[in-house]
Amino acid sequence: MRAPGLALRSLLPFLLGLPALLALQGSLSDFWASVLITAGVNVILAVSLNVVNGFTGQFSIGHAGFMAVGAYTAAKITLAAAGWAPAGLPPRLADGAVFLLALLAGMVTAALAGLLVGMPSLRLRGDYLAIVTLGFNEIIRVIIENTAFLGRATGLSGLPRRTTFAWAWMGVIATVVMARRLLGSTHGRALLAIREDEVAAEAMGVDTTGYKVKAFVVSSAFAGLAGGLLVHLIQLCTPRTFTFVKSIEVVVMVVLGGLGSVTGSAVAAFGLTLALEGLREVQEYRMVAYSLLLIVLMLTRPTGLFGTREAWDWLPRLPWRRRPEEGA
């Protein structure tokens, strides 16, 4: 009796989301599908980075590095499984199963990379994490460019196109559900406490190092998911996709949306992707645009568009959204 109830509550967003996404998918042109997939990937990146930079108050600027780890892992798996057609299984189902496995594997390797980077650097306070993640981003690039197995600078090509609109946005749902559920739990509050005052959080019994590492590992896993999704859209996996510029792009999205706001990150990532899509000619000047955007933001609205609030905090206080009263 309890198990089905748990499964339903736990999976409800996915059960509601999947049919809606599949229905929408049918009516999308190829162009819009690929724009929206890109936007979805960026939403995953921004929301997951927000777990570290927004919730926990750390400063990671190497998200693209973890994205690369997930992307290459997933790409290697789908390439290896190309042409694999088990008897008795419809090919589309087999492809889907392989892709799901590839994405999950990408999340695991990205999480391991996060553990490797986070363990030593999160022990120390301050800007150490920024430097280490930046370095990690570059190291990953250098490693890829020098590894034949990973296709060196030219990368891995000929990937199957597996990322549909529904796949990408199921990933978005997973990321947002993770972030919101974390935030609503005692573990999420411990992360916020670390952001607010690390000394006090530690004194109140929060294992601050352990929590920072856990948040970083979870965040890295979802960066890996975004990587896996992206390369199975563009059908190409090269180190150029995962440079420092990409990492900064994600940081800009998080800061723009508001450090600590899940909906803020999502809206900013979505909006910025569409804006970039509309301004293809000026893409080369992205870094300049980001710098200007950050400067304007710092001058006019340093907390980002949403601050630490969520979109629904602006809704009128409806009867069923009343604050929990005492004793409730």
Partner 1 sequence: MSAAGVAAPAAGGEGGAAPVLEARGVTMRFGGLQALAAFDLRLEPRELVGLIGPNGAGKTTAFNAITGVYAPTGGEVRVGGARVNGERPHQICARGVARTFQNIRLFKELSALDNVRVACHLGARAGWAAALALTGGFLRDEARLTRRAGEFLAVMGLAHRRDEPAKGLPYGEQRRLEIARALATGPKVLCLDEPAAGMNASEKVALMELIRKIRDDFGLAILVIEHDMRLVMGVSERLVVLDHGVTIARGTPEAVRRDPKVIEAYLGDSYLEERHIAVPDDRPGRKS
Binding stretches for partner 1 (CB under 8 A): 2, 5-6, 9-10, 177-178, 181-182, 184-190, 192-193, 196-197, 199-209, 214, 218, 308, 323-324, 326-327
Least distance from partner 1 to the Cβ atom of residue 192, Å: 6
Q: DSSP letter string over 7-57?
A: HHHHHHHHHHHHHHHHHHHHT--HHHHHHHHHHHHHHHHHHHHHIIIIIS-
Choose between 182 and 229: whose C-beta lies nearer to partner 1.
182
CA dist 59 and 79 (Å) reads: 35
Backbone angles phi, psi at 227, to 5 degrees: -60, -45
DSSP 155: -
Choose between 209 and 235: whose C-beta lies nearer to partner 1.
209
Residue 217: in which H helix or E strand, if any? Answer: helix 208-234
Choose between 50 and 208: whose C-beta lies nearer to partner 1.
208
CA dist 69 and 64 (Å) reads: 9
CB atoms < 10 A from the CB of 295, how many? 10
Choose between 92 and 323: whose C-beta lies nearer to partner 1.
323
Choose between 123 and 240: whose C-beta lies nearer to partner 1.
123
Least distance from partner 1 to the Cβ atom of residue 203, Å: 5
Which of 304, 223, 216, 215 minimizes the C-alpha distance to 267?
304
Least distance from partner 1 to the Cβ atom of residue 176, Å: 12
Give me the torsion for CA of 296, 301, 304, 309, rounded to 10°: -170
Choose between 191 and 233: whose C-beta lies nearer to partner 1.
191
CA dist 224 and 52 (Å) reads: 15
Least distance from partner 1 to the Cβ atom of residue 180, Å: 10
CA dist 164 and 55 (Å) reads: 30
CA dist 206 and 209 (Å) reads: 9
8 A C-beta contact, residue 239 and residue 88 = no
- Which residue reads 């980075």 in tokens? 49
Least distance from partner 1 to the Cβ atom of residue 249, Å: 27
Which of 297, 283, 312 minimizes the C-alpha distance to 253?
297
Least distance from partner 1 to the Cβ atom of residue 267, Å: 21
Least distance from partner 1 to the Cβ atom of residue 82, Å: 33
Choose between 138 and 202: whose C-beta lies nearer to partner 1.
202
Choose between 182 and 272: whose C-beta lies nearer to partner 1.
182
Least distance from partner 1 to the Cβ atom of residue 286, Å: 32
Least distance from partner 1 to the Cβ atom of residue 254, Å: 17
Choose between 91 and 120: whose C-beta lies nearer to partner 1.
120
Biggest CA–CA distance in the chain, Å, is 63
